[in-house]
Amino acid sequence: MFCCQEVGDSLNEEQIAPIIKEIKGALPEVEEDKIRKEIERYLQYGIEMQEAKRSIIRKFGGVETQFRSVGSITLKEIKGEGSKFDLVVKCLSASERMQKTQNGDKMLVSGLVADASMIRRFVSWDGHSLEEGKAYKINRASARTFRGEVEVNLGSFTQVEEAEEGALSDLDTDALPRFGTLKEIKLREVRPGMGNLQIVGKILGVEARNIEVEGGKKKIFDGVIADETHRLRFTAWHDFDLDIDQVVTVRGAYVKEWRGIPQINFDDRAQVTREEIDIEPVTTPKMRAEELIEAGASDVLVEGTVIEVRDGSGLIFRCPLCNRALMNGSCSVHGAQEGTADLRAKIVLDDGTGALFAILNTEITEELLGLTVSDAIRKFQSLDQSDMVALNKVLLGKEFMLRGNVIRDDFGPTVLPSSITPVDMDCVGKAREILSDLEGF
């Protein structure tokens, strides 16, 4: 039998919150701060958490019926946070890792369990140790919801023991569903904050790298996945043996963002299946301003007419320490500086569905003007020449196709193009198209 191990330990907020919630269920009239102080006091005296809970409930005149199990249920019948329940499950995977908390290192045990109804993830901060391939009888487990997925929580009231010999020995896990409700979605529909997604895509690139996380270094896998509608960057927090040109179905993905650009993430809770099909991935998708209001994008095309060349364009000087643009020879962080010369253009594009702000880098601005930065210094520092006049001449009122990333902040979407191409306008054709539309009214 495996028992909980909480003697003499201090708890962080993530661990203590569900314990307070459990006790609060038996003591609805008692303030949470009082319960918290009682828990901390019992821990200081080295009293095991399960006994501490019972003592606190008795002290304030409560009863423990709230901690009794509702009985045996299946994994599929777990609906979310609430009552305690009993399970008979088979452990499919389990891993232990030390997790740094505010109160020191803590052992986190997590993995996958299954019964005849489905597969779910389990997690324990209380020292329950499950072995892959064995069946267990679990009493007084609870549920928690994480990133939209219901998980089995093995708490300090939970008892875990090996099941009777032969239990779940004929379980066919390949035929079992893993998640409660998955949302099947195309990559073009992905938005930051989404979770519990099912996506199908082709791996266009993948590389491993090590990052620093709490508890030490971790190997993750970054890459690009694409379908026929869009392409997105992804991060796999587990080694799924991904390779270029594989077509995979990812069940249990979630979405993070970097400066408004959605990125697919999936970890050891996800299922990754290789498919015997091929996908013709979209090359570089073209997106409209109205689509980019909701979320940024990586490596896309946007097309529009330049309706404004903003102040701060042309020849500028940057702080040699932080690369910020100087204002009147002064950096907002480092004060007065000599400055390093640079060229840029800050423009506003209109594509008919909305406006997009874009910042053209040094190389693109040099190409548009036909001048290097050194040429611009000689030309635009004389009184009879204006960099803004030159930029307005080559940009304003003209149509361009931009390719690059679109980031989002509080001010809306901003295009950071890696290339820009003039669009030849067929004025006669455009006029005929407008007249044709008008004739329909």
Higher confidence at residue 69 or residue 337? 337
How far is the C-alpha of 64 from the C-alpha of 80, rounded, in Å?
21
Domains, the chain, ordered by start = 1-174 (2.40.50.140), 183-274 (2.40.50.140), 289-427 (2.40.50.140)
How far is the C-alpha of 20 from the C-alpha of 271, rounded, in Å?
33
Question: 61: alpha, beta or left, given left = phi > 0 and alpha = psi -120 to 50?
Answer: left
Q: Is the pLDDT of residue 7 over 60?
A: no
What would the pLDDT profile of 347-396 be if each residue is shown by its tens digit? 999 999 999 999 999 999 999 999 999 998 888 876 455 888 899 999 99
What would the pLDDT profile of 45-94 be if each residue is shown by its tens digit? 777 777 787 788 878 877 655 556 678 999 988 876 667 899 999 998 88
Q: Which pairs count as long-range contacts for 181-188, CB under 8 Å and 24+ apart, including other chains?
A: 182/251, 182/252, 186/227, 186/228, 186/229, 186/230, 187/225, 187/226, 187/227, 187/229, 187/230, 187/231, 187/232, 187/264, 188/229, 188/230, 188/285
For the record, the structure tokens of 90 come out as: 């088979």
Higher confidence at residue 180 or residue 186? 186
For the record, the structure tokens of 176 come out as: 């079992």
How far is the C-alpha of 402 from the C-alpha of 186, rounded, in Å?
24
What would the pLDDT profile of 263-272 be if each residue is shown by its tens digit? 999 988 788 9
Q: What is the pLDDT of residue 248?
A: 97
What is the model's pTM? Answer: 0.54
Q: What is the pLDDT of residue 2?
A: 39
Main-chain dihedrals φ then ψ at residue 105, nearest 5 degrees = -75, 145
Q: What is the pLDDT of residue 126?
A: 75
The DSSP 8-state label assigned to residue 327 in this structure reads B
CA 438 to chain centre: 45
Residue 2 CB neighbours (<10 A): 18
Task: Judge whether 379 and 399 are in contact, CB under 8 Å.
Answer: no
Q: What is the pLDDT of residue 353?
A: 92
Residue 244, SS3?
coil
How far is the C-alpha of 255 from the C-alpha of 248, rounded, in Å?
17
Give the pLDDT band of residue 15 (cuts 50, 70, 90). Answer: confident
What would the pLDDT profile of 258-316 be if each residue is shown by its tens digit? 888 889 999 887 889 999 999 999 888 899 999 888 778 888 999 999 999 999 999 99
What would the pLDDT profile of 19-43 be if each residue is shown by its tens digit? 887 788 778 888 889 998 888 888 8
β pairing state of 297-309 and 314-318: unpaired
Q: What is the pLDDT of residue 1?
A: 38
Task: Judge whether 2 and 162 are in contact, CB under 8 Å.
Answer: no
Residue 310 CB neighbours (<10 A): 14
Can you tell me the mean pLDDT for 220-238?
Answer: 93
Which residues is 184 bridged to in the sheet? 198
Higher confidence at residue 214 or residue 2? 214
Question: Cα-Cα-Cα-Cα dihedral of 382, 387, 393, 398, to 10°?
Answer: 170
Mean pLDDT of the chain: 84
Give the pLDDT band of residue 5 (cuts 50, 70, 90). Answer: very low
As a 3-state breakdown, the chain gives helix, strand, coil percent values, each rounded to 5, of: 20, 40, 35
Q: Give every CB contact of residue 332 below 8 A, 6+ residues apart in sequence.
A: 324
Lowest mean pLDDT among 146-150, 170-174, 201-205, 399-403: 146-150
Higher confidence at residue 180 or residue 196? 196
Q: What is the pLDDT of residue 183?
A: 85
Task: Return the H-helix or E-strand segment holding 69.
Answer: strand 69-72
Environment class of 347 (CB within 10 Å of its CB; exposed 0-12, middle 13-18, buried 19+): buried
Selection from 11, 20, 85 nearest residue 57 by Cα: 20
Environment class of 97 (CB within 10 Å of its CB; exposed 0-12, middle 13-18, buried 19+): middle
For the record, the structure tokens of 351 come out as: 């594509």
Higher confidence at residue 383 or residue 237? 237
Task: Return the H-helix or E-strand segment holding 51.
Answer: helix 49-59
Q: Give every CB contact of residue 394 below 8 A, 6+ residues apart in sequence.
A: 368, 369
